[in-house]
Amino acid sequence: MTEPQLTDPKPLNLDNHINLEICTGDPDGILAAKEGGADRIELCSGLAEGGLTPSLATIEFATAQIPTNVLIRPRGGDFVYSPAEIAVMERDIEAAVAADASGVVVGALTPDGKVDSEACSRLLAKGAGLDNTFHRAFDVVADPFEALETIISLGFKRILTSGQAATALQGADLIAALRRRAAGRILIMAGAGISPANAVEILRNTGADELHASARKPRKAAMDYSVHTAMGAADADDGSRMATDRDTVAAIRHGIDDFSRLR
Q: What is the pLDDT along the chain (263 residues), one digit of tens a residue?
A: 545 444 444 444 446 899 999 999 999 999 999 999 999 999 999 988 889 999 999 999 999 999 999 999 999 999 999 999 999 999 999 999 999 999 999 999 999 999 999 999 999 999 999 999 999 999 999 999 999 999 999 999 999 999 999 999 999 999 999 999 999 999 999 999 999 999 999 999 999 999 999 998 777 766 666 555 565 555 545 566 788 999 999 999 999 999 988 77
CA distances from 261 to 21, 101, 255 (A): 19, 30, 10
85, part of any domain: yes
Specify the CATH number for the domain of residue 80.
Answer: 3.20.20.380
Q: What confidence score (pLDDT) does residue 16 get?
A: 83
Q: How many CB atoms lie within 10 A of CB 134?
A: 28
Q: What confidence score (pLDDT) does residue 242 get?
A: 81
55, part of any domain: yes
**Contact, 179 vs 203, CB < 8 A?**
no
258, part of any domain: no
Structural domain range at position 181 = 19-218
Q: How many angstroms separate the CA atoms of 2 and 145, rounded?
A: 8
pTM: 0.88
Q: How many angstroms separate the CA atoms of 148 and 174, rounded?
A: 12
244, part of any domain: no
Task: List all residues 6 or more positions away from 91 whose beta carbon is below 8 Å from its beta carbon.
Answer: none
Distance between the two ends of the chain, CA-based, in angstroms?
A: 31
128, part of any domain: yes
For 63, the 3-state DSSP assignment is: helix
229, part of any domain: no
239 CA to centre of own chain: 26
| Structural domains in the chain (count) | 1
Q: How many angstroms separate the CA atoms of 95 and 93, rounded?
A: 5
Q: What confidence score (pLDDT) does residue 11 get?
A: 42
67, part of any domain: yes
Q: How many angstroms separate the CA atoms of 136 and 51, rounded?
A: 10
7, part of any domain: no
Q: What confidence score (pLDDT) does residue 198 get?
A: 97
**Contact, 64 vs 30, CB < 8 A?**
no
